[in-house]
Amino acid sequence: MNVLLALALLVTPAMTQLNAVETARAEAIMQEIRCVVCAGQSIADSDAALALDMQEYVRARVAGGSNAAEIRASLSERYGDEVLLRPPMDWRTAPLWLAPLFLMIGGLGLFFMASKRRR
């Protein structure tokens, strides 16, 4: 039985140890990163194996002194901007940011046209 426990401890990756401030920084960053396996869930909320690996990556980078922007950039480079829960505003993501505005303007236009017809 002790042999199985020893093997399990060897196979299980050790979590990076962080102080309270680093832990809070890592948790905040994890809330901003989307789990690429789960639909719409952050890696902080996911139990998927890849999300746990990504959590450990964030912890290791925080322990190494990286800031949030560097960590987000490295994950975005590896997995694409889809990994960010708040993607950056650029020409590729502009439709994502502008679509709600256009839908709201279109909805208001339809509302006013419908109210005009009633009168």
Render each residue's pLDDT in the chain as its tens digit; 119 residues. 455 544 444 444 556 777 889 899 999 999 999 998 887 899 999 989 999 999 999 999 999 999 999 999 999 999 888 888 887 777 877 887 788 999 999 999 999 998 888 76
Nearest in space to 35 (alpha carbons), one of 47, 23, 22: 47
The number of residues in the chain equals 119
Q: Name the token pair of 54.
A: 């990504």
Do 41 and 7 fall into the same domain? Answer: yes
Do 51 and 108 fall into the same domain? Answer: no
Number of folded domains that form the chain: 2
Which residues form the domain of 97?
89-119
Output the domain CATH number for residue 79: 1.10.8.640
pTM over cut 0.75: no
Query: Using an 8 Å Cβ cutoff, are 51 and 35 in contact?
Result: yes
For residue 73, give the amino acid letter.
Answer: A
Do 75 and 99 fall into the same domain? Answer: no
Q: What is the C-alpha separation between 112 and 90, in angstroms, rounded?
A: 32
Do 70 and 97 fall into the same domain? Answer: no
* Axis crossing angle, helix 49-63 with helix 20-31, rounded to the nearest 10: 130
